[in-house]
């Protein structure tokens, strides 16, 4: 059946897959305090070096097994993975923490959405074992094949991927689901991510942090827009809500037909970053706060731009629209899926009423400007602070700087404005 067949068989059987996850949760509840004792990394440079080498081995393993890495939906594909990778290097080069957390976090943070190459991210609503846990199961299978780590190193990376989203609070009733053939009610508990004193297990939080940085970075507005290629359900922290293009694009901050708009969704991420009543940012410290606040301030400018449309000439308007869709397919998700989604959405966007378009055109303009600033400063950091061999992320790219570099096809149009 091969690697892919075995993997799909395992995750489609939610009963067996849930047993695997429950066992990992049990192990975490028993041994969570001791895990770092078994991680062999001793200093920060080795942590990054070993982590990056492991990420490259995992991606190469999938490539060698004949599994293409361009199958994910355009919001969870190569663009997200590469931005997660560079954000992980930036964050973990600066974060003042035990190097063991750095080793574990760079791997789990970069590979957290890898299961989206196999399953649809937006099928989570229908699944008990969702894309995070499917990712943990996948990476564990690869680790068994490449035999690179000890039991606890494997466990900590894999469980960090399992726990990267959603099941952060006790309000997780919607995840309780009947398993029809056995009539057993299956549940996945909230992940144990803190010790008994409420201190975070950072190897569980770093992958979430890295994911969050691409939710508030300037790529996010483009990334979220690309997900609108099909109607789907998204998660707002408590419930799944239905997303359909026309309603979702209305530039308002109230629900339409009971569902969030895109502006509301983006603003929710913007406002929740330093909100202590929300679980996401409660353990942020040091470099995470610094990078988070700088990204979030750029996101705030984009939100303000959407709320306050600018006046453009017809020519400028057209240039921004053309630039936006080139930006999506050449930078945000430069795969065939990204290109197809972008071209389809362009047709949809041009059918929206002019008022709605004008709000978003201003937002798109500011978003692309912020992306240029972000990408150029990230490239400067990478070129000056990390060895050349860390820039490779094969088979996705030979150079992550080239991957994120703003492409002239859209920057030239933007610079005319
Ligand atoms: Fe995810
Ligand atoms: Fe993600």
Locate tokens 């564990």: which residue?
Answer: 140
Instruction: Compute, in angstroms, the gap from residue 181 CA to the centroid of ligand 2.
Output: 32
Cα–Cα dist 68/47, whole Å: 28
In the predicted model, is pLDDT for residue 234 greater than 70? no
Ligand with minimal distance to 166 CA? 1
Kindly report the backbone phi and psi dihedral angles of residue 233, in degrees, each rounded to the nearest multiple of 5, phi listed first.
-105, 135
- The separation between CA 318 and the C-alpha centre of its own chain, rounded to angstroms, equals 30
Residue 174's pLDDT band (boundaries 50, 70, 90)? very low
> Helix, strand or coil for residue 167?
coil
Instruction: Compute, in angstroms, the gap from residue 122 CA to the centroid of ligand 2.
Output: 12
**pLDDT of 63-116, one tens digit each?**
999 999 999 999 999 999 999 999 999 999 999 999 999 999 999 999 999 999
In the predicted model, is pLDDT for residue 60 greater than 90? yes
Number of neighbours of residue 350 by Cβ within 10 angstroms:
9
pLDDT at 334: 97
Instruction: Compute, in angstroms, the gap from residue 209 CA to the centroid of ligand 2.
Output: 10
Ligand with minimal distance to 219 CA? 2
* 233-261 burial: b if 16+ Cβ within 10 Å, else e: ebeeeeebbebebebbbbbeeeeeeebbb
Q: How many residues does the chain have?
A: 417
Ligand with minimal distance to 134 CA? 1
pLDDT at 235: 60
Instruction: Compute, in angstroms, the gap from residue 6 CA to the centroid of ligand 2.
Output: 24
Strand partners, 200: 194
**pLDDT of 269-293, one tens digit each?**
999 888 877 788 999 999 999 999 9
Q: What percent of the chain has pLDDT over 90?
A: 78
Ligand with minimal distance to 160 CA? 1
Instruction: Compute, in angstroms, the gap from residue 381 CA to the centroid of ligand 1.
Output: 26
Instruction: Compute, in angstroms, the gap from residue 165 CA to the centroid of ligand 1.
Output: 6
- The separation between CA 156 and the C-alpha centre of its own chain, rounded to angstroms, equals 19
pLDDT at 171: 45
Query: Residue range 49-63: average pLDDT?
Result: 97
Taking 3-state DSSP, the helix, strand and coil percentages for the chain, each rounded to the nearest 5, stand at: 65, 5, 30
**pLDDT of 295-321, one tens digit each?**
999 999 999 999 999 999 999 999 999
Cα–Cα dist 315/254, whole Å: 32
Inter-helix orientation angle 219-227/354-385, to 10°: 130
Residue 175's pLDDT band (boundaries 50, 70, 90)? very low
Residue 403's pLDDT band (boundaries 50, 70, 90)? very high
pLDDT at 280: 86
Domain boundaries of the chain, sorted by first residue: 2-171+197-414
Query: Residue range 164-192: average pLDDT?
Result: 65
pLDDT at 147: 80
pLDDT at 172: 45
Instruction: Compute, in angstroms, the gap from residue 79 CA to the centroid of ligand 2.
Output: 11
């Amino acid at each position: 059946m091969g690697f892919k067949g075995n993997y799909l068989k395992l995750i489609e059987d939610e009963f067996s897959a849930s047993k695997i996850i429950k066992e990992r949760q049990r192990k975490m509840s028993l041994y969570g305090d001791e895990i770092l004792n078994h991680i062999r990394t001793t200093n920060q440079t080795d942590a990054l070096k070993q982590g990056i080498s492991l990420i490259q081995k995992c991606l190469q393993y999938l490539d060698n097994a004949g599994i293409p890495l361009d199958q994910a939906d355009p919001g969870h594909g190569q663009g997200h993975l590469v931005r997660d990778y560079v954000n992980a290097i930036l964050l973990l080069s600066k974060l003042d923490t035990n190097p063991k957390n750095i080793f574990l976090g760079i791997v789990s943070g970069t590979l957290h959405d890898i299961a989206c190459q196999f399953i649809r991210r937006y099928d989570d609503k229908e699944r008990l074992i969702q894309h995070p846990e499917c990712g943990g199961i996948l990476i564990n299978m690869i680790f068994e094949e490449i035999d690179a780590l000890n039991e606890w190193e494997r466990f900590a990376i894999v469980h960090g991927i399992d726990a990267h989203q959603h099941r952060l609070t006790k309000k997780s009733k919607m995840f309780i689901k009947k398993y029809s053939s056995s009539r057993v009610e299956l549940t996945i508990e909230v992940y144990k991510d803190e010790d008994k004193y409420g201190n975070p297990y950072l190897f569980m939080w770093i992958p979430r942090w890295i994911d969050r940085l691409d939710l508030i970075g300037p790529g996010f507005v483009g990334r979220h827009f690309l997900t609108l290629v099909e109607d789907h359900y998204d998660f707002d922290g408590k419930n799944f809500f239905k997303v359909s293009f026309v309603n979702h694009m209305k530039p308002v901050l109230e629900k339409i037909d009971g569902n969030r708009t895109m502006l509301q969704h983006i603003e929710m991420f913007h406002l929740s970053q330093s909100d202590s009543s929300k679980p996401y940012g409660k353990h942020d410290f040091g470099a995470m706060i610094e990078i988070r606040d700088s990204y979030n301030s750029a996101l705030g400018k984009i939100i303000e731009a959407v709320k306050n449309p600018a006046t453009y000439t017809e020519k400028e308007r057209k240039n921004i629209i053309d630039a936006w869709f080139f930006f999506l397919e050449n930078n945000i998700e430069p795969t065939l899926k990204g290109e197809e989604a972008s071209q389809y959405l362009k047709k949809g966007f041009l059918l929206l009423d002019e008022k709605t378009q004008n709000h978003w055109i201003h937002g798109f303009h500011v978003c692309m400007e912020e992306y240029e600033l972000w990408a150029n400063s990230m490239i400067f950091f990478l070129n000056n602070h990390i060895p050349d061999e860390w820039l490779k992320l094969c088979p996705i790219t030979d150079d992550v700087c080239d991957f994120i570099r703003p492409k002239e096809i859209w920057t030239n149009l933007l610079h005319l404005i």
